[in-house]
Amino acid sequence: MTADAKIDINALEKPWENLHELVTAGEAEPLLAFLDLMSPTETALAISRLSSEDQSRLLTLLSPADAAEVLEDISETQAADMIEELSPAHAAAILEELDSDHIADLLGDMDEDSAAAILDNMAPEEAEEARQFLEYPPDTAGGLMISECLAYREEQRISDVLTDLQANRETYADYNVQYLYVTDERQRLRGVLRMHDLLFPVHAAPLSQLMIRDPHKVRVDAGLDRLRDFFEEHRLFGAPVVDEQNRLQGVVLPEAVEEAGRKRSVRQFLGLSGIIGGEEFRSMPLLVRSGRRLSWLSLNIVLNIIAASVIAIYQDTLAAAIALAVFLPMVSDMSGCSGNQAVAVSMRELSLGLVRPGELLRVMAKEASLGVVNGLALGLLLGAVAFFWKNNYYLGLVVGGALAANTLVAVTLGGLLPLLLKRLKMDPALVSSPLLTTVTDMAGFFFVLSFATAVLPRLSGG
Amino acid sequence: MTADAKIDINALEKPWENLHELVTAGEAEPLLAFLDLMSPTETALAISRLSSEDQSRLLTLLSPADAAEVLEDISETQAADMIEELSPAHAAAILEELDSDHIADLLGDMDEDSAAAILDNMAPEEAEEARQFLEYPPDTAGGLMISECLAYREEQRISDVLTDLQANRETYADYNVQYLYVTDERQRLRGVLRMHDLLFPVHAAPLSQLMIRDPHKVRVDAGLDRLRDFFEEHRLFGAPVVDEQNRLQGVVLPEAVEEAGRKRSVRQFLGLSGIIGGEEFRSMPLLVRSGRRLSWLSLNIVLNIIAASVIAIYQDTLAAAIALAVFLPMVSDMSGCSGNQAVAVSMRELSLGLVRPGELLRVMAKEASLGVVNGLALGLLLGAVAFFWKNNYYLGLVVGGALAANTLVAVTLGGLLPLLLKRLKMDPALVSSPLLTTVTDMAGFFFVLSFATAVLPRLSGG
């Protein structure tokens, strides 16, 4: 079947209604046929629009293996929610069809009681493995690896391997087989063979003679950045994962590392935009969505009150020169933008390894000099606008001077914040922007109003 | 060599100084040995701190093949800059060592004259291919594919393939070989064989008997989302790319698709933060960095002036109830935050395919109901703060009412903007946020000041 044979779901008015009908009809075969026709994205869309009863019914109608395939098409958060609605026994049957890494991810997304109930219903061996995988932190080699890999003993022969490959063809078909790992009697990694090394082998030779010795490998606790570096340096199709005793634990595929990296940038993007505490889907109940967003906004309101208190202190100045009120939000907003640019550059350089978290002086020098240039440019521009509007030289001076000074503060602080937060082990994506905005708001209000207080008689005399 | 043998560059105080000394000494061997000891990230850091003369000297000291390997470690923007500094002949020699996709990416990052000069210095065949690759839009199968793949004719035999593989072992070692593609006499794709299908073959059988017929494939013009879907659906190590006549053009690897996706989210993140027109590195000249950031800020200043003009119109109201000035930035800022949350959710749902750009009514209903809930909650909170501060019931009503109304506007607009911009083929990441902020600023100022005007006598009588 080629990709062209797919139905174009955009041509189907509302595919979730077709799906709803099929689920209600309660027959597995036509349901499966319909799902097979849809691409993963189309499936994800249609399923997300079903009621949660329909979603459960859909998973129960299908065989565990088919249900597992459906779950692979949709986002982890949603898949975990759907599984939690099933009976633990049914959920366990479906999970057993997934690979070890995926099982742990889904269980990790559920609340602990549901996960425990499902684990109790899984085959003891698989449950044991899943529990072990759950203990590895998510963005490490242990958390990203799969246990499904081919390992042979060094004294085995090529002919043994070929026999085993032939015999277990079906099982291995689901494996992402690129390499054969060779271990000693205590499961310690000794070497690796590429699949195509088997093309011209001496069948009677033991693997130890043909293998590449002391292969590249990663430790279970290697982090995401280390793993990315690994695959950038060694363009391999998989990295064997070993524990402290060099015992083979599984294999990390570069796709898993890429996917984890992509998820991290999604979290970063959502965090920057104030979506905290898990992804939001519009299919979630209104109060869940509202509550999650409010938790972030209510912190923001406190920060805003702190910043605005500066204005309250200078009320008299403002009352005497009301034109300033027009420029207060402008100065704070413009500086916020300048500061955010510096935050973005620092975060980017940190993620590329082009700056170390300790290099505060370097970043300060780079950003302060840019802050002077851009501060002067923007200050002149806004100062000129203020001057021509009220034909008051002092108004221009106050506004322009305040913007110049605040740009310097914002840019310098913005450049430094991600480095400081990284050293404090806090997430720059979440914390930089609100912290920066609060400070640049306060400083902006302060510069405008304190400069204005100093020349107040000249201002009101515009 | 294991990874543990690397020097820890964080232990070297300033590795770029060691590198500078080695480059100045002008001997290729110790330089290469030092580079070999560093991980890609470490190399990228050290090279980025060299002067541009040192960078050029480094590339010229190494053999073209070694120089090409160094370039693979550093970001494309920086690599393109470094190559542009070399003589076209030398640049061409280095580029010829890279794969076709990478060559086109680097040439695409340079100005046209430099790219043309380098192409003129490349071997005619390779230049021809690079020119062709340059014509494919960057985020399509054509722009992401490599031409280095194995293709055989359907009447060839397994024994022919094995002979060819043996004979060209060294060339193919650099290929990302997972599949053999089988074509007819007019290069049209007919089938595919997996490498391990060669493990148990009948050597005399023609490929047409063993191959999987009518394999999964993508068109040269398939976009990034289509490609992601493809690899999510078919967990393959590569997708053959064909033109309209089904002729094999190359192969797209899933890594290339992942990387393009990652680059797209980086652009999105940088764009959201106001870094437009290419990545910024702190190693760039001050005026280049300053100019790029200013181009974005000066647009922002115009938007700010438009928004602030609302305050100017209501100056008299503000003068009569100066306490309002404290709340103006708060109402606009809070609404901006609420709106950005809605933007993020819409962009996420669009990228997952969970909402179609045409579903304006659905998004409007979902966001408006959330806007009412969150608007009431936030309005009550800020209204109470205003009331208790001045002990003025009307001040609380004005401020709370304005925040409630503006939250509803911001959330609804924020949810809709990405869909509308997508339909207009504009980049939601770049345009949503500034547009949203301008509107919510204006609307916020308007709500506060027009509500205040309506009850003005009661306000000043606090």
pLDDT band at B174 (very low <50, low <70, confident <90, very high): low
- Out of B286, B374, B445, the one facing A293 most closely (by C-beta) is B374
Per-residue model confidence (pLDDT) at position B403: 97
Per-residue model confidence (pLDDT) at position B2: 40
Task: For A313, name the nearest residue in chain B, comparing CA atoms only.
Answer: B326
Per-residue pLDDT tens digits for B119-134: 999 999 889 888 888 8
Q: Answer yes or no: is pLDDT of B187 > 80.
A: yes
Task: For A345, name the nearest residue in chain B, comparing CA atoms only.
Answer: B280
Distance of residue B128 Cα from the nearest chain A Cα, in angstroms: 27
- Out of A348, A353, A381, the one facing B270 most closely (by C-beta) is A348
Distance of residue B188 Cα from the nearest chain A Cα, in angstroms: 15
Contact A340 B273 (CB under 8 A): yes
Per-residue model confidence (pLDDT) at position B5: 43
CB A414 within 8 A of CB B273: no
Per-residue model confidence (pLDDT) at position A94: 94
Per-residue model confidence (pLDDT) at position B234: 82
- Out of A218, A262, A366, the one facing B282 most closely (by C-beta) is A366
Contact B214 A369 (CB under 8 A): no
| Residues in chain B, total | 462
The span from the CA of A382 to the CA of B141, in Å, is 47
Per-residue model confidence (pLDDT) at position A2: 40
Contact B319 A323 (CB under 8 A): no
Per-residue pLDDT, averaged over A228-235, amounts to: 84
Quote the mean pLDDT of chain B.
Answer: 88
Per-residue model confidence (pLDDT) at position B10: 53
Per-residue pLDDT tens digits for B216-243: 999 999 998 889 888 888 878 889 999 9
Q: Look up the ipTM and state it.
A: 0.84
Distance of residue B246 Cα from the nearest chain A Cα, in angstroms: 13
Per-residue pLDDT, averaged over B110-117, amounts to: 91
A353: left (phi over 0), alpha (psi -120 to 50) or beta: left
Q: Answer yes or no: is pLDDT of B210 > 90.
A: no
Q: How far is CA A44 from the centre of its chain?
A: 19
b/e string for A131-149 if b means 16 or more Cβ within 10 A?
eebbebeebbbbbbbbbbb
Share of chain A above pLDDT 90, in %: 52
Per-residue pLDDT tens digits for B253-305: 888 888 888 888 888 888 888 888 778 888 888 998 999 999 889 889 999 99
Q: How far is CA B392 from the centre of its chain?
A: 51
CB A53 within 8 A of CB A61: no
Contact B272 A268 (CB under 8 A): no
Contact B373 A265 (CB under 8 A): no
Mutate to test the interface with A, among B9, B47, B69, B330 (most CBs of A within 10 A): B330
- Out of A162, A282, A349, the one facing B281 most closely (by C-beta) is A349
pLDDT band at A41 (very low <50, low <70, confident <90, very high): confident
Residues of A in Cβ contact (< 8 Å) with B256? none
Residues of A in Cβ contact (< 8 Å) with B356? 10, 45
Contact A374 B437 (CB under 8 A): no
Task: For B75, name the nearest residue in chain A, comparing CA atoms only.
Answer: A352
Per-residue model confidence (pLDDT) at position B308: 93
Mutate to test the interface with A, among B172, B337, B362, B416 (most CBs of A within 10 A): B337
- Out of B275, B340, B363, the one facing A344 most closely (by C-beta) is B275
| A399 or B265, greater pLDDT | A399
Q: Is B189 helix (H, G, I), strand (E, B) or coil?
A: strand
CB A84 within 8 A of CB A110: yes
Cα angle A438-A411-B307, degrees, rounded to a multiple of 5: 60
Q: Answer yes or no: is pLDDT of A3 > 50.
A: no
Q: Answer yes or no: is pLDDT of A149 > 90.
A: no
Residues of A in Cβ contact (< 8 Å) with B327? 308
Residues of A in Cβ contact (< 8 Å) with B283? 354
Per-residue model confidence (pLDDT) at position A4: 40
Per-residue model confidence (pLDDT) at position A406: 97
CB A84 within 8 A of CB A288: no
- Out of B233, B300, B377, the one facing A40 most closely (by C-beta) is B233
Gyration radius (Cα) of chain B, Å: 30
DSSP annotation of B140: B
CB B412 within 8 A of CB B370: no
Per-residue pLDDT, averaged over A192-210, amounts to: 78
Mutate to test the interface with B, among A35, A322, A374, A411 (most CBs of B within 10 A): A322
Distance of residue B369 Cα from the nearest chain A Cα, in angstroms: 8
**Hey, what domains does chain B have and what are their CATH numbers?**
3-135 (1.25.60.10), 150-263 (3.10.580.10), 286-460 (1.10.357.20)
Distance of residue B404 Cα from the nearest chain A Cα, in angstroms: 13
Most confident range, picked from A405-409, B60-64, B102-106? A405-409
Per-residue pLDDT tens digits for A155-194: 998 888 888 888 887 777 667 667 889 999 899 999 998 8
Contact B329 A311 (CB under 8 A): yes
CB A410 within 8 A of CB A440: yes
The span from the CA of B184 to the CA of B151, in Å, is 10
Task: For B212, name the nearest residue in chain A, comparing CA atoms only.
Answer: A1
- Out of B311, B329, B445, the one facing A332 most closely (by C-beta) is B329
Sheet holding B189-194, edge to edge: B150-153, B179-183, B189-194, B212-213
Q: Answer yes or no: is pLDDT of B4 > 60.
A: no
Token pair for residue A53?
A: 């009863």
The total of other beta-carbon atoms located within 10 Å of residue A89's CB is: 12
Distance of residue A89 Cα from the nearest chain B Cα, in angstroms: 28
Amino acid at residue number A5: A
- How many A/B residue pairs have CB atoms within 8 Å? 307
Q: Answer yes or no: is pLDDT of A289 > 60.
A: yes
Distance of residue B443 Cα from the nearest chain A Cα, in angstroms: 14
Contact A373 B280 (CB under 8 A): no
Distance of residue B224 Cα from the nearest chain A Cα, in angstroms: 13
Contact B282 A373 (CB under 8 A): no
Distance of residue B88 Cα from the nearest chain A Cα, in angstroms: 28
Residues of A in Cβ contact (< 8 Å) with B304? 329-330, 333-334
Per-residue model confidence (pLDDT) at position B227: 92
Mutate to test the interface with B, among A314, A352, A445 (most CBs of B within 10 A): A352
Q: Find where tokens 């269980």 sit.
A: A107
The span from the CA of A210 to the CA of A188, in Å, is 17
The lowest-confidence range among A1-15, A115-129, B26-40 is A1-15
Per-residue pLDDT, averaged over A307-319, amounts to: 93
Share of chain B above pLDDT 70, in %: 95
Residue whose C-alpha is closest to residue B447's, from B368, B385, B379: B379
DSSP annotation of B98: S
Distance of residue B111 Cα from the nearest chain A Cα, in angstroms: 23
Contact B385 A273 (CB under 8 A): no
